[in-house]
Amino acid sequence: MPDELDNKIEAKADTITDAGSVTSGSTAGIDYVPAHERPDQELYHSHSWWTTYVFSQDAKYIGIQYAFTAIGTGLIGLVLSWMMRLQLAFPGLGILEPSTYYQFITMHGMIMVIYLLTALFLGGFGNLLIPLMCGARDMAFPYLNMVSYWVFLLAVIILLASFFVPGGPTGAGWTLYPPQSITSGTPGSSMGIVLMLISLCVFVAGFTMGGLNYIITMLQSRARGMTLMRLPLTCWGIFTATVLALLAFPALLVGCIMLTLDSLLGTSFFMPTMISMGEKLSYDGGNPLLFQHLFWFFGHPEVYIIALPAFGIISDLISVHARKNIFGYRMMVWAIVGIGALSFFVWAHHMYVSGMSPWFGYFFATTTLIIAVPTAIKVYNWVLTLWRANIHLTLPMLFALAFIVTFVNGGLTGIFLGNVTVDVPLSDTYFVVAHFHMVMGIAPLLVVFGAIYHWFPLITGRMLHEGMGKIHFWITFLGSYAIYFPMHYQGFVGVPRRYFEIYDSPYITTSTLHLNVFITIAALIVGAAQLIFLFNLIYSARAGEKAEKNPWKANSLEWQTPEMPPGHGNFGKELPVVYRWAYDFNVPGADKDYIPQTVPPSQVSGAKVEKT
């Protein structure tokens, strides 16, 4: 049998050589490819402690800076959600004023979506992984990359400063809809909202600098032999998400600039003729719907800016920890690109109740259902990758499995809400809260955790503690279901969202009041479990078990660096040369169950991949 196989392969190799036209410069037998055909990247070498660790131009450090800042901000968002949950469960205690509740809702939403998840996936994982996975020494423009982080930090500081200005932060909801966001009566309508808008503009500016780096590094600085289709799916996810971000964030920028002018100068871009507190305001003729369109033209791609890197990372985690090549790699790439393209044509499904024409709504309902197709393909491919795979129930794998379940869950309720007729009665209830927290909150966070457990050894050279990790996983996974499953029910019963207090209304069943207490307790426990995770990070970084090189036996380039954690310039003297894709797991005929991307064919002569 093996002989037969070898014969077949030899025959194949012959046809290729005979065809001749496949390549011009190489023959079928060529094995060694020289590394330096083009000059190596000029690398910035730091000379002082400050330029090494603080004003660092090394993408790895910048990634870690991004991650710390994002997670730190995210913890503030977490505390805000605790306060809101306490208020909802025990309204009698009077924990929050109505206005404070709205301010916390707004800040929680904005922090989690933009300053935590976007910054962590693109700024954190993007910086850390792109150069390493592509086989580059650093980003294309390291200086710009450094500036990008500091501008992001500035945006965070401006955002948090709004807690301390007179009137407090804005309480307009994270969508910041005018006219109410800048009309008196809304919390933070004077200074809070302006700081929020400025912070967003600064964020967009900083992100554009970073995004430029991510895509150009991936396009132009890859190692020799690394074609686009040999990139790990993580890179594809981050790449497509960055393209989306570069095209979608301008909409947010435009909306924010014009709203700032409405607020500060009194122009009427968005502000209609209106009477407030019995007085006619000076505004005239503006169109608030225009802001909604601009916001959601950014806002929907934003969902995929977070989801696509998550999709990519999860594909790699599943493949590595199930010791099997990803099922349908090409289809996965097509799905990522397809979702990216479609995501610009679904934005108005966030606006079914804004009073737009129902026909317009049907168009967007259709596109919304179409985008479910590539998304479902991805889920099928993950499941098929797991099918008959050598599944190792490591922590990253546990988080990956939890992600698939949670994402399907949130995705299914998304199909409900994508239909106009179902959305209209449900859109102001907790069903929506449950839906987007499942699909956009819990699911990406599970990926973040899985990714941190996976790549922690690469960053620190030590493993995270397994036992603490398991406790963290089970509390987070089961706990988040305890929080969000009941919310679906509350939504069906008709509990309205955005209310700071579900008082003793005859329309609200007592069961929802009990559920509110239950949800709050679950939320407190899940939130507290994150402290275990933080402790694990600190403890393991100092005293964790030392990781061997390439502890997960992965194929992609980030694990093939000469030292771990990778040093300055990532790859030592010579850049790596890539001979295969990142998914050669359990190749028939190979002596190990994985073949790293840098292994030339001659070293694994027995290993052959079936032709498809």
Partner 1 sequence: MKKEQSIFQILSQKPWESSQAIVDNDHDGKTFGKSKAKLGVKTIMAVSTVIFSLFIVAYSDRMQVHDWISMPEPWLLWVNTAVLIMNSYFFHNTKIAADRKDNIKIRNGLYTVGILAYAFLLGQLIVWYQLMKLGYFATSNVANAFFYLLTTIHGLHLLGGLYFWGRATSKFLKGNYKTSNMQHTIELCAIYWHFLLIVWLVLFGLMLFT
CA distance 547 to 158: 39
The footprint of partner 1 on residues 593-612 (CB under 8 A) is 601, 608-609, 611-612
Q: Which is nearer to partner 1, 197 or 519 (CB)?
A: 197
The footprint of partner 1 on residues 141-170 (CB under 8 A) is 141
Q: Which of 413, 391, 410, 411 is nearest to 401 (CA)?
A: 391
Q: Which is nearer to partner 1, 24 or 357 (CB)?
A: 24
Among 105, 119, 120, 140, binds partner 1 (CB under 8 A): 140
Task: Give the total residue count for the chain.
Answer: 612
- Residue 5 lies near partner 1 (rule: CB under 8 A): no
In SS3 terms, 278-345 reads as CEECCCCCCCHHHHHHHHHHHHHHHHHHHHHHHHHHHHHHHHHHCCCCCCCHHHHHHHHHHHHHHHHH
Tokens of 97: 């004023």
Q: How far is the CB of 535 from partner 1 (least distance, A)?
A: 41
- Residue 48 lies near partner 1 (rule: CB under 8 A): no
Among 481, 583, 585, 594, binds partner 1 (CB under 8 A): 583
CA distance 206 to 173: 24
- Residue 497 lies near partner 1 (rule: CB under 8 A): no
Q: Which is nearer to partner 1, 10 or 504 (CB)?
A: 10
CA distance 112 to 104: 12
Cis status, amide bond into 179, omega within 30 of 0: yes
Q: Which is nearer to partner 1, 2 or 425 (CB)?
A: 2
Which residue stretch of 153-161, 324-332, 377-385, 440-448 sits at the interface with partner 1 (rule: CB under 8 A)?
324-332
- Residue 548 lies near partner 1 (rule: CB under 8 A): no
Residue type, position 4, single letter:
E
- Residue 584 lies near partner 1 (rule: CB under 8 A): yes
Q: How far is the CB of 420 from partner 1 (least distance, A)?
A: 23
Q: How far is the CB of 312 from partner 1 (least distance, A)?
A: 15
Q: Which is nearer to partner 1, 282 or 421 (CB)?
A: 282
Residue pair 251/605 in contact by the 8 Å Cβ criterion: no
Strand ranges (E), 189-332: 275-276, 279-280
- Residue 182 lies near partner 1 (rule: CB under 8 A): no
- Residue 58 lies near partner 1 (rule: CB under 8 A): no
Q: Which is nearer to partner 1, 205 or 524 (CB)?
A: 205
CA distance 412 to 434: 12
Which residue stretch of 46-54, 307-315, 462-470, 573-581 sits at the interface with partner 1 (rule: CB under 8 A)?
573-581
CA distance 147 to 57: 9
Tokens of 205: 């500016």
CA distance 410 to 440: 8
Among 54, 79, 157, 219, binds partner 1 (CB under 8 A): 219
Residue 589 pairs in a beta bridge with none
- Residue 137 lies near partner 1 (rule: CB under 8 A): no
- Residue 268 lies near partner 1 (rule: CB under 8 A): yes
Per-residue mark of binding to partner 1, 8-47 (x: CB under 8 A): -x--xx--x-----xxxxx-x-x--x---xx---------
Which residue stretch of 119-127, 208-216, 457-465, 476-484 sits at the interface with partner 1 (rule: CB under 8 A)?
208-216
Among 4, 166, 330, 510, binds partner 1 (CB under 8 A): 330
Q: Which is nearer to partner 1, 60 or 580 (CB)?
A: 580
Q: Give, as one character, the DSSP assignment of residue 28.
A: T
Q: How far is the CB of 444 from partner 1 (least distance, A)?
A: 25
Among 47, 93, 227, 510, binds partner 1 (CB under 8 A): 227
H helices within 329-442, ranges in order? 329-342, 358-386, 395-418, 420-426, 430-436
Which residue stretch of 64-72, 149-157, 262-270, 385-393 sits at the interface with partner 1 (rule: CB under 8 A)?
262-270
Among 1, 11, 93, 265, binds partner 1 (CB under 8 A): 265
Q: How far is the CB of 609 from partner 1 (least distance, A)?
A: 5
- Residue 471 lies near partner 1 (rule: CB under 8 A): no
Residue pair 137/73 in contact by the 8 Å Cβ criterion: no
- Residue 373 lies near partner 1 (rule: CB under 8 A): no
How many CB atoms are located within 10 Å of the residue 507 CB? 8
CA distance 442 to 117: 11
Return the half-sphere exposure (C-beta side, CA atoms, 13 A cut-off) of residue 583: 22
Q: Which of 595, 598, 601, 599 is nearest to 576 (CA)?
A: 598
- Residue 274 lies near partner 1 (rule: CB under 8 A): no
Q: How far is the CB of 223 from partner 1 (least distance, A)?
A: 5
The footprint of partner 1 on residues 230-259 (CB under 8 A) is 230, 246-247, 250-251, 253-254, 257-258
- Residue 261 lies near partner 1 (rule: CB under 8 A): yes
CA distance 237 to 129: 12
Residue pair 108/169 in contact by the 8 Å Cβ criterion: no
Q: How far is the CB of 590 from partner 1 (least distance, A)?
A: 13
Q: Which of 485, 492, 490, 486 is nearest to 502 (CA)?
A: 490
Q: Which is nearer to partner 1, 141 or 539 (CB)?
A: 141
- Residue 296 lies near partner 1 (rule: CB under 8 A): no
Residue pair 597/582 in contact by the 8 Å Cβ criterion: yes
Sequence-ordered list of residues with C-beta below 8 angstroms from that of 529, at least 6 positions apart, any chain: 471, 472, 475, 476, 479
- Residue 454 lies near partner 1 (rule: CB under 8 A): no
Q: Please provide the distance, in angstroms rounded to a whole number, between the alpha carbons at the two ends of the chain.
A: 19
Q: Which helix (H) or strand (E) holds 537?
A: helix 510-543
CA distance 67 to 129: 12
Q: Which is nearer to partner 1, 51 or 287 (CB)?
A: 287
Which residue stretch of 123-131, 307-315, 508-516, 574-582 sits at the interface with partner 1 (rule: CB under 8 A)?
574-582
Q: Which is nearer to partner 1, 388 or 611 (CB)?
A: 611
Residue type, position 99, single letter:
S
Residue type, position 542, single letter:
R
Q: Which is nearer to partner 1, 209 or 434 (CB)?
A: 209
Q: How far is the CB of 608 from partner 1 (least distance, A)?
A: 7
- Residue 174 lies near partner 1 (rule: CB under 8 A): no
Q: How far is the CB of 290 from partner 1 (least distance, A)?
A: 5
Cis status, amide bond into 565, omega within 30 of 0: yes
Q: How far is the CB of 233 from partner 1 (least distance, A)?
A: 12
- Residue 281 lies near partner 1 (rule: CB under 8 A): no
Residue 275 pairs in a beta bridge with 280
